[in-house]
């Protein structure tokens, strides 16, 4: 098996397992599908990479080289962007509980836009700007009440969500009063994010139409950010929509709704994250022991929930192959289990695979989003290395954690 023109067996020999592998050519194709199609003659557009999906220096460099913007949800992600010279005017800083030190850090480094999540944050930011004699551009995260059909832990727009403020609520009205009187904060517009791994574009278009109606309350063109959450292919149960169609549908919906409501906007933004990196990523494991119980057969791998927590957290499903046996008869129904001391450390349950033996390589697909980002040192497991492949070249972009690094902060 090859990724680009690089044999994954050679990747194992060179970098070991578990190993995160990214097809850089695939990353670039996904980026350009958005950039080339999310355009309008009626208003400006901006495509932001949702860095929480996969935030490492090399990925931020790639985003910058493609002239995309960036959304960050923590000082750690912001610091990563700063470390590679990413232009701060193209950064949007999210988060429902930014501390005073978080906001101060953002102001000191001239972050382009702060996405304000709630009333208390706005009050804190206003006071901070006054005390520090700083200016800030903000957009407000609105809970538009559109609930997409997705896992309950990744739905972000139901009425009791921890994210955003409800339009015309008392908190919303108080925020508008503060902004009207503020000399330090410039209100630019609204943000909405309705969930993740969504295949129904109607949910996005409905949310966008609601935002445009709200624009009628204002006498200036606003910035609207419709967020991300566009679905990808993990298994054959998933039916994602091509990202060029996603882009064009949102643009067309916006243009039509603006005309119907007789309003203008300054800019429309989207924040794809998973949909850029997920399918471009793979995780490579070495199979160790094989175990049969009365009702199950297990293939044990040298990684697990420490490098991919999503099956345990979201009951996420994945597809996989035994390297070199992709075309063999898949007659064994097996459970791929990790090595953690945890019964829930199961990467894939009841997957048909060929007969395997210890030392075989197992590769899981569509692991480019939230694998590395959500990895942990549970059971004192080491964080795997990350490799980018392009053409016939493999580039190490994150070194495998060493045991010395594992305990270096301990006293």
Q: What are phi and psi of 311, to 5 degrees?
A: -60, -40
| CA 227-231-235 angle, 5° bins | 160
Q: What residues pair up with 352 in beta bridges, in sequence order?
A: 333
341 in active site: yes
CA 385, distance to chain mean position in Å, is 19
Given the structure tokens 């992709």, which residue do they identify? 326
Neighbouring residues of 13: CB distance < 8 A, sequence distance ≥ 6: none
pLDDT at 148: 58
- The per-residue b/e assignment along 83-100, b for 16 or more CB within 10 angstroms, e otherwise, is eeebebebbbbbbbebee
Average pLDDT for the chain: 94
d(CA 89, CA 337): 44
Helix (H, G, I), strand (E, B) or coil at 404: helix
d(CA 365, CA 233): 9
| Contact by Cβ (8 Å): 20, 386 | yes
Q: What is the pLDDT of residues 249-262, one digit of tens each?
A: 999 999 999 999 99
Catalytic residue among 55, 66, 269, 341: 341
pLDDT at 194: 82
pLDDT at 145: 72
d(CA 228, CA 198): 9
Neighbouring residues of 285: CB distance < 8 A, sequence distance ≥ 6: 17, 18, 301, 302, 303, 361, 362, 363, 364
- Alpha helix stretches (DSSP H) within 38-157: 57-65, 75-83, 100-108, 119-132
Strands 332-337 and 297-301: what pairing?
Answer: parallel
CA atoms within 13 A on the CB side of 208: 26
Of the candidates 351, 334, 344, 354, the residue with the CA atom closest to the CA atom of residue 308: 344
Q: What residues pair up with 87 in beta bridges, in sequence order?
A: none
| Contact by Cβ (8 Å): 85, 78 | no
Q: What stretch of H or E contains 37?
A: helix 24-37
Q: What is the pLDDT of residues 37-69, one digit of tens each?
A: 999 999 999 999 999 999 999 999 999 999 999
Question: What mean pLDDT comes out for the span 17-31?
Answer: 98
- Alpha helix stretches (DSSP H) within 192-273: 201-214, 243-261
State the burial class of residue 391 (Cβ atoms within 10 Å of its Cβ: 0-12, 13-18, 19+).
Answer: exposed
| Contact by Cβ (8 Å): 21, 286 | no
pTM of this structure = 0.94
pLDDT at 163: 77
Q: What is the pLDDT of residues 217-229, one digit of tens each?
A: 999 999 999 999 8
d(CA 387, CA 282): 10
Q: What are phi and psi of 87, to 5 degrees?
A: -65, 120
Query: pLDDT above 90 covers what percent of the chain?
Result: 89
Q: What is the pLDDT of residues 90-144, one digit of tens each?
A: 999 999 999 999 999 999 999 999 999 999 999 999 999 999 999 999 999 998 8
| Contact by Cβ (8 Å): 328, 43 | no
Structure tokens at 375: 């990895």
| Contact by Cβ (8 Å): 98, 76 | no
Of the candidates 45, 40, 80, the residue with the CA atom closest to the CA atom of residue 64: 80
Query: pLDDT above 70 covers what percent of the chain?
Result: 96
pLDDT at 157: 47
Structure tokens at 410: 């301990």
| Contact by Cβ (8 Å): 272, 49 | yes
């Amino acid at each position: 098996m090859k990724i680009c023109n690089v044999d994954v067996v050679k990747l194992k020999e060179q970098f070991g397992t578990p190993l995160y592998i990214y097809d850089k050519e695939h990353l670039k194709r996904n980026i350009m599908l958005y950039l080339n199609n999310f355009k309008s003659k009626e208003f400006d557009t901006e495509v932001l990479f949702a860095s929480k999906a996969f935030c490492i220096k090399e990925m931020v460099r790639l985003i910058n080289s493609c002239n995309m913007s960036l959304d960050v949800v923590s000082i750690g992600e912001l610091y990563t962007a700063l470390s590679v010279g990413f232009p701060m005017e193209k950064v949007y800083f999210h988060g429902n509980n930014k501390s005073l030190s978080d906001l101060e850090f953002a102001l000191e480094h001239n972050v382009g836009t702060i996405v304000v999540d709630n009333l208390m944050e706005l009050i804190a930011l206003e006071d901070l700007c006054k005390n520090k004699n700083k200016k800030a551009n903000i957009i407000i995260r609105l809970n538009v009440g559109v609930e997409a059909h997705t896992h309950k832990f990744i739905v972000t727009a139901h009425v009791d969500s921890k994210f955003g403020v409800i339009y015309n609520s008392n908190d919303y009205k108080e925020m508008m009063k503060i902004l009207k009187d503020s000399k330090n904060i410039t209100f630019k517009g609204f943000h909405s994010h309705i969930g993740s791994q969504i295949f129904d574009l109607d949910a996005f278009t409905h949310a966008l139409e609601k935002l445009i109606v709200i624009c009628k309350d204002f006498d200036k063109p606003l910035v609207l950010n419709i967020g991300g959450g566009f679905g990808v292919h993990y298994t054959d149960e998933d039916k994602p929509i091509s990202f060029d169609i996603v882009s064009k549908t949102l643009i067309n919906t916006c243009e039509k709704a603006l005309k119907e409501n007789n309003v203008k906007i300054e800019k429309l933004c989207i924040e794809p994250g998973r949909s850029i990196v997920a399918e471009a990523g793979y995780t490579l494991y070495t199979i160790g022991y094989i175990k049969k119980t009365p009702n199950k057969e297990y293939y044990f791998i040298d990684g697990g929930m420490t490098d991919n927590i999503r099956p345990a957290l979201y009951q996420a499903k994945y597809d996989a192959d035994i390297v070199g046996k992709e075309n063999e008869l898949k007659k064994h129904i097996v459970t791929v289990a990790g090595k953690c001391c945890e019964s829930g450390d199961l990467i894939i349950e009841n997957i048909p695979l060929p007969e395997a033996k210890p030392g075989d390589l197992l590769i899981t697909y569509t692991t480019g989003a939230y694998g590395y980002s959500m990895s942990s040192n549970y059971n004192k497991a080491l964080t795997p290395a990350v490799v980018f492949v392009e053409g016939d070249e493999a580039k190490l972009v994150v070194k495998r954690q060493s045991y010395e690094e594992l305990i270096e902060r301990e006293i």
